[in-house]
Structure 1
């Protein structure tokens, strides 16, 4: 009896267990969610942590666009990513950073907020950005910068990526405290905490079993 043909599969699966098509949509989804989060953040005049937070602060201080600053700030971290996480990880991260840099320039012209209170925006930013980062992590990428270091430490020591990022964010927010009005500082801190809680709770390698 003739056996039924096997269902088509995504060719050449990567080390994450996902194939190129799955990885492509994961990178696009993760970058788009992060760009949407940045759109919310900059609309409210808030900041965040990690290298994105550094890029946001520099964009406020200089008047330059977030996207190009974010792209340049991440460049020094690719060597660490290559040495510690491999070429595939660095290439995916480079693509994700480039997508975020591009989308963060495009989305503000496509989205308008009739009403968006700071506390609601901070929580929404944290949720969508956390979801975007989780998608990128699951597909073997990050948004560069401290994310590369955080993933490396989690792979090597088991210390959660979210907690590493929270420590870095604490240092960055010490600087932001002197630059922002108190209310915007508090709402910014809330958004960063939500991002890192989402990652710390949900980013577990044993939950990611691709089939």
Structure 2
């Protein structure tokens, strides 16, 4: 989209035509790297975006560039994030972002932001430094929104549960929540010198943030005194966890 905007601004070619033309090579890349269904969905989404840009007039709500950059970035990021969660993209650079996010430790939003900083750094010479800076601010807001929608809504959380009713809790996790669980054999650490420490099973599972409240309620029914430790999980592979469409 950034490349299309710059070319349209300098040549006068219709933006809607450029959106389709410039994104086609990236869709071919998506077909080879991700899959046929992804490429088909992306073509439909990009053509839909081009038609909306060409035919639907948008009213001028404000002329304040800061408001345009921040809220424009928010809505842009929302659209990109929901598209990616649905298994498609609306911008070719998102294909590269998805591919590179699996190879590096960067998030999709971070990679999209880096791409557009590079694009609009060149745009500073074509347009102006001020416009380029506002454009970068737009994609900064978009990147944060993308990361929240893709990863923040169902952020993974590792749960460690120490309880004397560990077997009942394990069955609840696997049967009621439909999640996997791992059992560690441990010993209670609180005791006097030379005292035999009590052996206990420790349950570990990974769930989404939206399931934490339900899990805690179920644990409270089984053992109100259970010791629960929660920590954020950056990413996972395998197991019984919900994944976004592009990871399937």
Task: Settle same-fold status: TM greater than 0.5.
Answer: yes
Evaluate the alpha carbon distance shift between residue 186 and residue 84 of structure 1 in structure 2; reply closer, same or farther with a 3 A threshold.
same
1:196 is displaced (CA, Å) by: 1.2
2:123/2:132 contact within 8 Å kept: yes
Kindly indicate which of the two structures has a greater share of residues assigned to helix.
Answer: 1
Q: Which residue of 1, 25, 30 corresponds with 1:76?
A: 25
Specify which structure has the higher proportion of strand. 2
Consecutive unaligned residues of structure 2, counting only runs of 5 or more, are 155-207, 209-241, 244-248
Question: Among 139, 159, 180, which residue is 1:192 paired with?
Answer: 139
Q: How many residues align?
A: 157
Cα distance between partner residues in 2 of 1:188 and 1:138: 24
Cα distance in structure 2, aligned partners of 1:157 and 1:175: 25
The answer for the alignment partner of 2:9 in structure 1 is 60
In structure 2, relative to structure 1, the CA distance for the partners of 1:176 and 1:153 (3 Å cut) is same
Tell me: CA distance 1:183–1:206, structure 2 relative to 1, closer, same or farther (3 Å). closer
The aligned residue for residue 146 of structure 1 is 93
Pair 1:96 & 2:32 matched? no
CA contact (8 A) 1:94 1:144 kept: no
Gaps of 5+ in 1: 1-51
Given the alignment of the two structures, is residue 86 of structure 1 paired with residue 46 of structure 2, yes or no?
Answer: no
Structure with more contact order per residue of length (Cα contacts < 8 Å, sep ≥ 6): 1
Please, what TM-score do these two structures have when normalized by structure 2?
A: 0.58
**1:139 and 1:155 mapped to 2: Cα distance?**
18
Cα deviation, residue 169, structure 1: 1.4
The alpha-carbon distance between structure 1 residues 151 and 116, as it changes in their structure 2 partners (threshold 3 A), is same
Q: Give the RMSD, CA atoms, in angstroms.
A: 2.1
Whole-angstrom distance in 2 between the partners of 1:129 and 1:101? 15
Deviations, residues 32-73 of structure 1 (Å, cap 9, x unaligned): xxxxxxxxxxxxxxxxxxxx0000001101111111001000
CA deviation map 1:75-106 (0-9, x unaligned): 11122111111001101111110000100012
Q: Structure 1 segments of 4 or more deviating over 6 A?
A: none
139-148 or 174-183, larger mean C-alpha shift: 174-183
Instruction: Measure how far apart 1:182 and its partner are.
Output: 3.1
Answer yes or no: is 1:115 the counterpart of 2:62: yes
**Alpha carbons of structure 1 residues 144 and 181: separation in structure 2 relative to 1, 3 Å:** closer
Deviation, 1:157, is 4.4
Report if the CA contact (8 A) 2:124-2:131 is conserved.
no
